[in-house]
Structure 1
Amino acid sequence: MIKAKDMKTSIHKQRKHSLASLNMKLIIKVKLILLMIGISLSSCQDFLEAKPDKSLAVPTSLRDMNAILDNNTTNFYSFIAEVAADNFYHTEALWNAVPTERDRNIYIWENTAADGDGGTLAGRYRTIFNANIVLETLPEISIQESEREEYKRIQGFAYFARGYALLEMAQLFTEPYQESIAATAKGLPLKLSADVNEPSPRASLEETYKRIEGDLKQAAQLLPAQSSSPTRANKAAAYAVLARMYLYQRKYPQAGLYADSSLQVNNQLLDYKTINNSATPFPIFNREKLFYAYASSSNVTVARAKVDTLLYASYANGDRRKLLFFRRNADNSYAFQGSYAQSTITFAMGPTTAEMYLTRAESRARAGNKDEALQDLNTLMRNRWDNTFVPFTAANANEALRLILAERRKELIFRGLRWADLRRLNFEPEFAQVLQRKLGNRTFTLLPNDKRYVFPIPESIIQLSGIAQNDR
């Protein structure tokens, strides 16, 4: 069995070798990669001003394609949604110590400065740009028949990377999906070509989700059941992200269908009874993870972020997550230590089998299938509790749904999913939440369906592109 440490070393060497090879073959001089607005972004932090000369960068092999997709931006995602959600709180002193005004403002929903430098969009559109290069170049590469499956895998990974990036951005920069308004509501600029001169106006919300759906379904058809590295997508991951997409659209039967498809490929769970408590108790590449994506934020470090008091209290004694996810601070508050990134400063964002059990359970409960819904929930909980676990029961499907959503909240803490869950559940009065922050004698409130559930497009991008800003 390959140990996690060995696996990390192997993947690091694989990426380093792959990228070094690409750099020898492809001299890519980038000052400005225009993406969504006719501008592309050469890093996650700033805009530079020149476009790539494709005559200097001609990928010629599948190895080159792998190097492009193995770029860290494919796996690195934004954490601003987690910062804006309700999993943790700051004291005023700790909030004042957050290094950037941007991150402080996200925490109190002062979104005028959120992503002000375009960093979040930069990373995602760089991923999309890389995927577009691969999708456009692959048909021009001559391959041997023995390389056919690898060709399909790379093509599938490119579709997956583009669809996943668009889905994440949709939860930040477009309003929550409602079928009644989707045809006219603002979606994302859909950059589907590596041509930097091709304009990319904002599509509708419906067009945006159709593109995400199309990309992820293509990925699911092309990707293999197993991948050579946890940082490369496989079929179960594509089905899982499709399940997320349908969940965010509140299309619950489809969400359950694709969660089931993912679980048919991989249904393995970690048994928390076998996990020893430590500062980072979970292996980075464990069997629950379907795709390794990660994020970090200066807001959500162990030293700053204090787990919401009511949320911590909701974990019962005997629930191993209470022991493994949290550690007590000197002031008797709690910090989160349960990252599947095996880190106290980096957080795992990719889909897991546990998430798929919860998605399928929710779909079944909403369809009135109480017994099957509880079966999924109890399968997961047996692997989360010690030997005192008593299976959950419910009088009806709605009661089962409440149990499932409560466990979803506890299971998926600090996975970057809570913001999207708040957005969709705010349409149901029974589950809608009023969020509050308290800093000294100041109180900040976010009501259900507030316009601040949509982040503004960074002003720098508005000025350069002329695309429409989100309603504020």
Structure 2
Amino acid sequence: MKKHILISIFLLGAFAACKKSWLEIVPQGSLVATTTQDYDKLMNDPDFYICYNIGGWGEAQLMGDEVAAERPYFVNKSPIRDALFQWKDSVYPQPSETPFTLNMNLRMMYELNKIVDEVMGSEGGTEAQKKGIRAEAMATRAFTIFNLANFYCKPYSASTAASDLGFPFTDVPDVNKDDFQRGTLQGTYDFIVKNLNDALADIPAKQPIVTRMSRPAVEGLLGKVYVFMGKYSEALPLLKDALVHVTANGQTSLYDYNQTLAPGGAFMPIDPVAGPNGPNLNLLDLRESVVSKIYTSGFYTGNQTGSDGLVLTPQAQALFGPDDLRLLFYTSKNPDNSVNPAGRLRKYGAPFQTNQFSRFGLELSELYLLLAECKARTGDLTGAAADLETLRRHRMPPAGAVVPAAIAGNRTALVKFVIEERIREFAMDGYRWFDMRRLSVDPLFAGTAHTHTMYNEDGSTAVYTLRQPNRWVLKFPRFFTDANPEMPDNP
């Protein structure tokens, strides 16, 4: 906790470059926001962009089917980790167990609701400044609800969304509210889409730092939401605009691994324990972020989740070509420095250290992949292949970056290639869980089974199968359902 507080104060200074403010020194909450500048500083709250040992996509990281686990390094950490990896019916059965992700996001929702509700009546500041701050808060709130819906609601399907249960959010800044209604999934997504669309009217084109929502961030996130709703034609123009606008802002660009991982490159040398010095080790490296959201994705340190013992499945490992430089972020050595006898790969990272991060906002690489998917699904195969190759040329030598002709000319094959590229780009970061969910209602991927394998010390294995459709959602924790006994839980 001390480390969290210290790094939060440091990040406020590093990111916002502002003097000590009331936000940092307020005694026991006795001072409230009154000026537009106060609300502007509230949007610099580190909880909105850095989940240090709390929140983020730690649960999703353990549920993606691109990961397997090595028993000696996985077990005896947290029963919650075991339950998530096994896709158990109840992950948080005890009243004392509070999911960090849910708790943090609900706390954020209260603050965001206050900003949305109050900033237009704040003192000082121009009308445009107030509207810009309100738009940021609305977009951040929409992103927060979208994440929670992908843990606690069914995957979106237009045919059932009007009857499927939504997420029990509120847009009222009232800490005493205790009557939470789930509504419908359609209502949840309608609220998300409306907030993002409303934010587009006033959101600043560019922010001083990419931890805060800008126009290309909102365009890109709205496009992503439409992708998750299966509305690819609606998503495409938004994603195209996002790429144009983020390029114009000049804050975001792709690293070229051909340079950074070459001898003498910025990510070199490769530390035998921590690995290459890439963005996953540097909290302040925001170069590839359209909007930066970061969570601690390293080893378990009392944070409920952690990457201890996680390895790529043989199927995920086989997706990488031999010249794919992203493989250099993985090692076949176990956490105790022994060599994995089967050659299974884990991400670099040192036990008992928390300086390993994953980014779950909107990265430029994902923007290219979302664009490629939408173009492929709507018939622009040439454009889709071009976007894929733009990303791949930054991840491997040019010769290997070309999309094979047999794939580039076939719509279904190209869509599946995009999904595989998402695994190559974001393996073990949590993205795969979200993709598994949305693709479960996609006819191109219908009937896909999902398993997790635990590799035991004696060479035997235990295989866990995700039980569809119930385990596409987490059950709400006891503290939440006990406080809201009339609210229906997930089955």
TM bucket normalised to smaller: 0.7 to 0.9
User: Which residue of 2 is the match for residue 125 of structure 1?
Assistant: 106
| SS across alignment from 2:130 | helix
Match of 2:216 among 227, 230, 236: 236
| Offset at residue 355 of structure 1 (A) | 0.8
1:445 aligns with 2:465: yes
Unaligned runs of 5+ in 2: 1-8, 248-252, 262-267, 334-338
1:159-178 equivalences in 2 (<5 Å): 159-178=138-157
User: Which residue of 2 is the match for residue 275 of structure 1?
Assistant: 260
User: Which residue of 1 is the match for residue 419 of structure 2?
Assistant: 405
1:135 aligns with 2:155: no
User: Which residue of 1 is the match for residue 451 of structure 2?
Assistant: 436
User: Which residue of 2 is the match for residue 196 of structure 1?
Assistant: 175
Runs of 4+ in 1 over 6 A off after TM superposition: 15-19
User: Which residue of 1 is the match for residue 74 of structure 2?
Assistant: 95
User: Which residue of 1 is the match for residue 136 of structure 2?
Assistant: 157
User: Which residue of 1 is the match for residue 290 of structure 2?
Assistant: 290
Query: What is the one-letter code of the residue matched to 1:196?
Result: V
The answer to whether the 8 A contact 1:280-1:344 is kept is: no
The answer to whether the 8 A contact 2:157-2:229 is kept is: yes
Cα distance in 2 for residues equivalent to 1:10 and 1:27: 22
1:212 aligns with 2:192: yes
User: Which residue of 2 is the match for residue 35 of structure 1?
Assistant: none
Cα distance in 2 for residues equivalent to 1:178 and 1:430: 14
1:264 aligns with 2:278: no
| Offset at residue 303 of structure 1 (A) | 4.8
The answer to whether the 8 A contact 1:135-1:155 is kept is: yes
CA distance 1:72–1:10, change in 2 (3 Å): closer
CA deviations on 1:235-267 (whole Å, 9 max, x unpaired) are 111112112211111111122222212111124
User: Which residue of 1 is the match for residue 250 of structure 2?
Assistant: none
The answer to whether the 8 A contact 1:437-1:445 is kept is: yes
Cα distance in 2 for residues equivalent to 1:81 and 1:302: 11
CA distance 1:321–1:11, change in 2 (3 Å): same
The answer to whether the 8 A contact 1:18-1:64 is kept is: no
1:326 aligns with 2:337: no
CA distance 1:129–1:411, change in 2 (3 Å): same
CA distance 1:23–1:351, change in 2 (3 Å): closer
CA distance 1:469–1:57, change in 2 (3 Å): farther
User: Which residue of 1 is the match for residue 367 of structure 2?
Assistant: 356
Moved more, 414-423 or 392-401: 392-401
| Offset at residue 282 of structure 1 (A) | 2.3
Match of 1:316 among 314, 321, 337: 321
| Offset at residue 12 of structure 1 (A) | 3.9
The answer to whether the 8 A contact 1:131-1:159 is kept is: yes
CA distance 1:149–1:326, change in 2 (3 Å): farther
| Offset at residue 144 of structure 1 (A) | 4.0
RMSD: 2.6
CA distance 1:144–1:232, change in 2 (3 Å): closer
1:465 aligns with 2:484: yes
Cα distance in 2 for residues equivalent to 1:194 and 1:379: 44
Cα distance in 2 for residues equivalent to 1:90 and 1:294: 24
Q: TM-score normalized by structure 1?
A: 0.84
| Offset at residue 87 of structure 1 (A) | 2.7
User: Which residue of 1 is the match for residue 37 of structure 2?
Assistant: 63
Cα distance in 1 for residues equivalent to 2:438 and 2:359: 22
Cα distance in 2 for residues equivalent to 1:305 and 1:19: 41
CA deviations on 1:245-303 (whole Å, 9 max, x unpaired) are 11111111122222212111124322221212432432443432111112235467565
CA distance 1:363–1:387, change in 2 (3 Å): closer
The answer to whether the 8 A contact 2:153-2:165 is kept is: yes
| Offset at residue 138 of structure 1 (A) | 0.9
Cα distance in 1 for residues equivalent to 2:236 and 2:489: 31
Cα distance in 1 for residues equivalent to 2:449 and 2:150: 19
Cα distance in 1 for residues equivalent to 2:182 and 2:307: 38
CA distance 1:363–1:144, change in 2 (3 Å): closer
The answer to whether the 8 A contact 1:236-1:263 is kept is: yes
| SS across alignment from 1:202 | coil
Query: What is the one-letter code of the residue matched to 2:192?
Result: I
The answer to whether the 8 A contact 2:74-2:310 is kept is: no
CA distance 1:413–1:437, change in 2 (3 Å): closer
Moved more, 148-157 or 313-322: 148-157
CA distance 1:144–1:193, change in 2 (3 Å): same
CA distance 1:245–1:396, change in 2 (3 Å): same
CA deviations on 1:99-141 (whole Å, 9 max, x unpaired) are 2211221111114124841432211111111111111221221
CA distance 1:221–1:326, change in 2 (3 Å): farther
| Offset at residue 211 of structure 1 (A) | 0.7
CA deviations on 1:64-93 (whole Å, 9 max, x unpaired) are 213333222212324211211123221222
Match of 1:73 among 44, 47, 67: 47
User: Which residue of 2 is the match for residue 107 of structure 1?
Assistant: 85
Query: What is the one-letter code of the residue matched to 1:395?
Result: G
Cα distance in 2 for residues equivalent to 1:413 and 1:222: 35
CA distance 1:397–1:377, change in 2 (3 Å): same
Q: TM-score normalized by structure 2?
A: 0.80
Query: What is the one-letter code of the residue matched to 1:427?
Result: V
| Offset at residue 232 of structure 1 (A) | 1.4
Moved more, 425-434 or 414-423: 425-434
Query: What is the one-letter code of the residue matched to 2:237?
Result: L
Q: What is the percent sequence identity of the aligned residues?
A: 22
| Offset at residue 356 of structure 1 (A) | 1.2
Cα distance in 1 for residues equivalent to 2:10 and 2:397: 33
Cα distance in 1 for residues equivalent to 2:41 and 2:469: 42
The answer to whether the 8 A contact 1:18-1:67 is kept is: no
Which structure has more RCO (C-alpha within 8 Å, separation ≥ 6)?
2
| Offset at residue 10 of structure 1 (A) | 6.4
CA distance 1:25–1:137, change in 2 (3 Å): farther
Cα distance in 2 for residues equivalent to 1:402 and 1:87: 15
User: Which residue of 2 is the match for residue 391 of structure 1?
Assistant: 402
| SS across alignment from 2:326 | helix
Residues paired across the two proteins, number: 430
| SS across alignment from 1:266 | helix
User: Which residue of 2 is the match for residue 420 of structure 1?
Assistant: 434
User: Which residue of 2 is the match for residue 33 of structure 1?
Assistant: none
